[in-house]
Structure 1
């Protein structure tokens, strides 16, 4: 099969399209003929050696796929063969990949493979940010950084569904308009010669927000904390601008603030991921949730996808189409 691999860490140029052996599904696994593979910022960090750095090279990237079940391994119901699915699946920048049958989400016909490939990593992250980590209630306020990105747009929609007032931050006017189209009540554009925390206080009548969801890290950390209302919560789930500074506990006392983190790979309580996956699939099928496809390129152009993602030139979800 064809797959994207890298033999040394570095820039997007280290990604190579190569012929590699087909994988074989083991017990409890299925083999998926990949039609689309999701691209995530964490993939760029792996490629640069900043994340999962102990994994031997060469390595195939990718952690989510959508396609057709081609074969099943021992112990798996053969009726899965031929079904349209999306799944959390490693090594998904390839024509074939394997994954445990429990990771599958069956895709209805009205959902494209590209949308399916954009749903799980970012969708599950968004779902847990709202329903597991921060749990905002109706009438509370949420500030979402990178609101026009893949996770940002999904989190924005989920926050609105629970009745929260949502503020977002973006890097330009086009992204601000996209965030508003997905339900943002107000949007802050970085670099507009305004102080973010002051803007948040003006938008919240001086109170601040109840929740900040921060995937940026170093460059937004201080403003995120300053934007919180008393008893507010900052949830970190990414470091796009670099790791944030150490938390000074003394600085949290005045407003009784909480600082937490979320990572999709943390072992979750039994059954929680299945419920989250089912909720996302149902919401997408019923039109209650939209996956914004920002950049869709062929598998061979994975380096372009990484370059565009790292320079923040994309909105929504970046996907590799596998023919």
Structure 2
């Protein structure tokens, strides 16, 4: 089969389209004929050797796949064969990928494989940020950095459905438009004279926000803490601009602030993960949740997808269409 691998860490140019053996599903696993694979910022960090750096090379990238089940391993009901699915699946930048039966989410015909490939990694992250980590409540205010990114646009929609007021930060007017279309109540565009924290104080009439979701890290950390209301909660889930400064507990006392982190790869209770997956699938199928496809290119153009993602030239979800 064809697959995208890297044989050494480096820039997007290290990604190669290789011929490799097709995988075989093991006990409790299925094999998916991949139609679309999601691209995530973590993939670029793996390629650069900043994340999962001990994994042996060459390595096939990818962590989510949408397609059709074409085989099952021992212990899996053959009813899955031929069904349209999306799943968290390692090594999904390929024509075939394997994953466990528990990861499968069946897709209705009207949901495209490209949309579905944008649902799980970023959707589960957004869902758990809103419901598991922040436990956002109706009437609260949340500040979402990188609001026009894949997680950001989904988090806006989920936060609005939870009854929150949503503030977002973006880097351009085009991205601001997308954030507003997804439901953001107020959007800050970098480039003006005001700081994020000053803007938050203005739009909240001095109150601040109860929750901040921060995937940017170093460049936003201070403003995130400053934007919080008393008893507010900052949830970190990435560091696109670099690791943030160490938290000094003494600085948290004045407003009794809470700082935490979220990582999708942390082992989740099975029932909680199933509830999140089913909630996302149902919302996507019913039209209550929309996946914004910012860039869809062929498998062989994975290097271009990485370059565009790293340069912040994309919005929403980046997807590889697999021939």
Q: Secondary structure at the match of 1:271?
A: helix
* Counterpart in the other structure of 2:136: 136
Tell me, in whole angstroms, the C-alpha distance in 1 between the residues paired with 2:136 and 2:190: 25
- The structural deviation recorded for 1:130 is 0.5
Does residue 19 of the first structure (1) align with residue 24 of the second (2)?
A: no
Tell me, in whole angstroms, the C-alpha distance in 2 between the residues paired with 1:136 and 1:45: 29
* TM-score (normalizing by structure 1): 1.00
* Counterpart in the other structure of 1:290: 290
Tell me, in whole angstroms, the C-alpha distance in 2 between the residues paired with 1:30 and 1:192: 51
Does residue 173 of the first structure (1) align with residue 173 of the second (2)?
A: yes
- The structural deviation recorded for 1:193 is 2.1
CA-atom RMSD in angstroms: 0.5
Tell me, in whole angstroms, the C-alpha distance in 2 between the residues paired with 1:270 and 1:80: 20
Which string of whole-angstrom CA distances, capped at 9 and with x for unpartnered residues, describes residues 286-313 of structure 1?
Answer: 0000000000000000000000000000
- The structural deviation recorded for 1:35 is 0.1
Does residue 230 of the first structure (1) align with residue 233 of the second (2)?
A: no
Which string of whole-angstrom CA distances, capped at 9 and with x for unpartnered residues, describes residues 213-262 of structure 1?
Answer: 00000000000000000000000000000000100100000000000000
Tell me, in whole angstroms, the C-alpha distance in 2 between the residues paired with 1:110 and 1:248: 50
- The structural deviation recorded for 1:190 is 1.4
Tell me, in whole angstroms, the C-alpha distance in 2 between the residues paired with 1:165 and 1:262: 21
Aligned pair count reads 323
Deviates more, 1:268-277 or 1:202-211: 268-277
* Counterpart in the other structure of 1:68: 68
Tell me, in whole angstroms, the C-alpha distance in 2 between the residues paired with 1:263 and 1:192: 32
* Counterpart in the other structure of 2:240: 240
Which string of whole-angstrom CA distances, capped at 9 and with x for unpartnered residues, describes residues 82-121 of structure 1?
Answer: 0000000000000000000100000011100001100000
5+ residue gaps in structure 1?
none
Tell me, in whole angstroms, the C-alpha distance in 2 between the residues paired with 1:2 and 1:186: 44
* Counterpart in the other structure of 1:41: 41
Tell me, in whole angstroms, the C-alpha distance in 1 between the residues paired with 2:115 and 2:73: 26
Does residue 317 of the first structure (1) align with residue 317 of the second (2)?
A: yes
Which string of whole-angstrom CA distances, capped at 9 and with x for unpartnered residues, describes residues 14-61 of structure 1?
Answer: 000000000000000000000000000000000000000000000000
* Counterpart in the other structure of 1:157: 157
5+ residue gaps in structure 2?
none
Q: Which runs of 4+ in 1 moved over 6 A?
A: none
Tell me, in whole angstroms, the C-alpha distance in 2 between the residues paired with 1:212 and 1:251: 17
Which string of whole-angstrom CA distances, capped at 9 and with x for unpartnered residues, describes residues 125-178 of structure 1?
Answer: 000000100011111000000000000000000000010000000000000000
* Counterpart in the other structure of 2:114: 114
Tell me, in whole angstroms, the C-alpha distance in 2 between the residues paired with 1:191 and 1:61: 35
